[in-house]
Structure 1
Amino acid sequence: MKYTQLGHTGLQVSRIVLGTMNFGPQTDEGASHAIMDAALGAGINFFDTANAYGWGENKGRTEEIIGSWFAKGGGRRDKTVLATKLYANMGVDEPWPNHHKLSAVNIRRSVEASLKRLGTDHIDIYQFHHIDRLTPFEEIWQAIDVLITQGKILYAGSSNFPGYKIAQANEIAARTGRLGLVSEQCLYNLAERRAEMEIIPAAVDYGLGVIPWSPLHGGMLGGILRKEREGSGSRSQGGIAVQTLAKPGVREQVLAYEELVAKHDLDPAEVALAWLLTRPGVAGPIVGPRTADQLDAPLRAVELDLPQEFLTALDDIFPGPGPSPEAFAW
C-alpha cells in the first residue's frame, strides 16, 4: 500500500479509502468485519462512513458494525483513520426538529451519537455531508472548535461542497485562526469530471485532500459492457450505470474505453482507480466492496503506473470540461 498526507495536514492516509456504505444493507456484520480485517491487513488505514448509513429505519447501523469491529481489539481503532459524516435527519419515523443539517446543536448531538455507535472516544475526520444554506460558518466553526478542544474530533472535512463553499468555509476559518476544512469528498471519476471546473481547484488551492466517491461511476467503468456480453453482470450495476449508458453517445464512449483497456491487457476497474490517483489533489478514491475478494482490484490499482500516452488516450475518450471560467465562458 502507498500512503500520502491528507491535504495540508500531518495525517498519513492510504491511497485507497474503504467505503462502508454497504455494511448492513448489503453486507452482514460478519462479512463486514472480514472486509475490514482484510483492508487493514493490506495496509488500507482510511475508513469512511456516515451517521445515516444503514438507511431508513436502520440509520446508524453501519457505524454500529464498525464499532463492534473496533471492540474486538487488536489495535484496530489505533491503526484506523476514521472518517464519518453528519447532516441527515436521524429521525426514523418522522423528522426531529434540530436533528439535521449543521446547526451547533445538531453537530453536538450528532457527534455524541456517532461516538457511541462507533464505540470510540474520537473521530479523526468529521465531515459535513452537504452544505447548510442557513447556518453561518461562524456558528459551525465555533461548534467544531468545542469538539476539537474536547478531543472528540481531530479535523473537519466536507462532502458534496461546491467550490465557492469550500472557499467561504476556509476564508472564515482563516480569519479566526482556525485550520478549516482538510478534505473534500466529491463525485469524481473518468466519466464525471465536472468537479475539475471549480471543486478540485478550490480544494487544491486551500490545501484539502480530495476523496472521490463513486470512482467507477456506479459500475459503468468496471467493464460493464464486457460483463453484459458475458452475462456476468450483477445487480449493483443497475441504477446510475444503466441510466448513464442510455444517454446519447455514452455507450460508445464506454465501448472505446473497454477496447483501449483490453488492448493494453488491463482491467477497466483498476484503470479507473489508477487514473484518479494521477489527478491533482486526490488523496485516494473510496471503494465499497461487498466481499473481501473485491479489495483485490483496488490494491492492484495502487501499483498501476499509467504512461502519459495512455492518459492522453483516456482524455480523448472522456474529455474533461476544462477549467472555469473557460469551461462555460469565452
Structure 2
Amino acid sequence: MEYTHLGRSGLTVSRLVLGTANFGPETSEQDSHTIMDRAHEHGINFFDTANGYGVKADGSGGLRGHTEQIIGRWFATGGGRREKTVLTTKLYFPMSDWPNDGHLSALNIRRAVDASLTRLQTDYVDLYTMHHIDRDTPWEEIWEAFHVLREQGKVLYFGSSNFAGWHIAQAQEAARSRHFLGLISEQSVYNLLTRWIELEVLPAARHYGLGVTPYSPLSGGLLSGVLRKQREGGTSRGTSGLSVPLLAQHRDAIETYEKMCADLGEDPAHIGLAWLLAQEGVTGPIIGPRTVEQLDSSLRALEVTLDDATLATLDELFPAPAPNGAKPAPEAYAW
C-alpha cells in the first residue's frame, strides 16, 4: 500500500480510501465486515462514511445511520480495528423531518457528533467532514462549535465535501482569523468524465493545503468497462439510472477509452483510478466495493503508471474544462 499525508496535516493515510456507502443498502453486514478486514489486510487505513448512509441510492429502503452502526459493531469486535483506522464521518443532511436535525448549526453539530460516536462505538472521529456547504450558518458559529468538539477530544481534524473553491477560501480565512488549523481535506466528485473541480476547487485545495479525496471515481460505472460488459451480456451500474444519459452523451469517447485500455492490457477501472492518483493534489480516490473481489481488484490501480502519451490521450478523450484556452485554472480566467 502507498501512503501519503492528508493535505498539509501530519496525518498519514492510504492512497485508496474505503467508501462504505454500500454497507447496509447493497452489502450485508457480514460481508461489510469481511470487506473492512480485507481492507486492513491490504494496508488501507482510511475509511469514509456519513451519518446519513444506510438508505439506498434512490432514497428507498434502509435507515439513515445504519452504515455507521455496521462499522461500530465491526470496531467492537476488537483486534485493533479502531486503532488501525483513520475514520471520517460526515454531517449536514437532515436525519429526520424535525427542525435542527440537519445542516451546520451549533446545535446540530453537537447532536450529530454525539449520535455518530454512539453508532460508531468510538469516543472520537479522526476527520469530521461537512457533507455540504451551509449557506445559512455563519462561519463564526461553525468554527466555534468545531473548536468545542476538538477541545472535548471528540474530533481531531475537519474537512469539507462538495464545496466550491470560494467556500474553501471562506472557511480557511475564517479559521485563520481564529488561529485554527482549519480544513485539511475536500471530498468532491471527480473523474475523467466530471472534471469541473479543476476550475476552482483543486487550485483552492492546493493553495490552502487540503488533500482531495474524489468520490464517484469511475462515474457510476461508466469508466469500468460498461460497453464491454454490455457486449458480454453482463450488468453494470453504468447502464441504469442517472448514468444512462451520460453514457449516451459520451459513448464514442468511452468506446475509444475501453479500446485504449485493452491495448494497454489493463482494466478500464484501473486506468480510471490510476489517472486520479496521478493528479496533483489528489490524496486518493474513494472506492466503494460491494464485494471483496471488487476491493481486491482495485489494488491494481496502485501498480499502474500512466506515461505522458497516455495521459495526453486521456485529456483528448475527456478534455478538462478550459474557460480561456490553454492556461490552467484558475489563471484561465485571466488574459
Task: Pick the TM interval, shorter chain.
Answer: over 0.9
- Show CA shifts across 1:68-125 (max 9, x none): 000010000000000000001111xxx1111110000000000000000000000000
Q: CA separation in 2, counterparts of 1:242 and 1:226?
A: 15
Matches within 5 A, 1:47-86: 47-55=47-55, 58-86=63-91
Q: CA separation in 2, counterparts of 1:166 and 1:141?
A: 13
The offset of 1:307, in angstroms, is 1.0
Q: Secondary structure at 1:212's aligned position in 2?
A: strand
User: Is the alpha carbon distance of 1:254 and 1:235 closer, same or farther for their aligned partners in structure 2, counting shifts above 3 Å?
Assistant: closer
2:98 matched residue in structure 1: 96
Q: Secondary structure at 2:301's aligned position in 1?
A: helix
Q: CA separation in 1, counterparts of 2:211 and 2:201?
A: 11
1:265 matched residue in structure 2: 265
Q: CA separation in 1, counterparts of 2:228 and 2:257?
A: 11
Paired amino acid for 2:133: I
8 A Cα contact 1:104 1:139, kept in partner:
yes
Paired amino acid for 1:80: T
Q: CA separation in 2, counterparts of 1:243 and 1:71?
A: 43
Q: CA separation in 2, counterparts of 1:120 and 1:325?
A: 41
Paired amino acid for 1:254: I
TM-score, normalised to structure 1, is 0.96
8 A Cα contact 1:218 1:237, kept in partner:
no
The offset of 1:297, in angstroms, is 2.4
Matches within 5 A, 1:1-330: 1-55=1-55, 58-91=63-96, 95-235=97-237, 237-247=239-249, 250-322=250-322, 323-324=328-329
Paired amino acid for 1:199: V
- Show CA shifts across 1:122-159 (max 9, x none): 00000000000010111100000000010000001000
- Show CA shifts across 1:193-220 (max 9, x none): 0110000000010000000000000000
Q: CA separation in 2, counterparts of 1:24 and 1:327?
A: 43
- Show CA shifts across 1:25-45 (max 9, x none): 011100000000011110000
After superposing the two structures, state which structure 1 stretch, 235-244 or 63-72, moved more.
235-244
Paired amino acid for 2:193: A
Runs of 4+ in 1 over 6 A off after TM superposition: none
8 A Cα contact 1:104 1:140, kept in partner:
yes
Tell me the C-alpha RMSD between the 2 structures: 1.3
8 A Cα contact 1:17 1:286, kept in partner:
yes
The offset of 1:294, in angstroms, is 0.5
The offset of 1:231, in angstroms, is 0.9
Q: Secondary structure at 1:154's aligned position in 2?
A: strand
Paired amino acid for 2:126: D
The offset of 1:324, in angstroms, is 3.8
8 A Cα contact 1:269 1:297, kept in partner:
no
Paired amino acid for 1:90: M
Q: CA separation in 2, counterparts of 1:237 and 1:119?
A: 38
The offset of 1:264, in angstroms, is 1.2
Structure 2 residues not aligned, in runs of 5+? 56-60, 323-327
8 A Cα contact 2:24 2:62, kept in partner:
no
Paired amino acid for 2:27: T
2:58 matched residue in structure 1: none
Paired amino acid for 2:67: T
Q: Secondary structure at 2:82's aligned position in 1?
A: helix
8 A Cα contact 1:217 1:240, kept in partner:
no
Q: CA separation in 2, counterparts of 1:45 and 1:160?
A: 23
Q: CA separation in 1, counterparts of 2:334 and 2:179?
A: 36
Q: CA separation in 2, counterparts of 1:187 and 1:327?
A: 21
Q: CA separation in 2, counterparts of 1:168 and 1:49?
A: 25
Identity %: 59
Q: How many residues align?
A: 325
Q: Secondary structure at 1:281's aligned position in 2?
A: coil
- Show CA shifts across 1:135-190 (max 9, x none): 01111000000000100000010000000000000011011100011000000001
The offset of 1:240, in angstroms, is 3.1
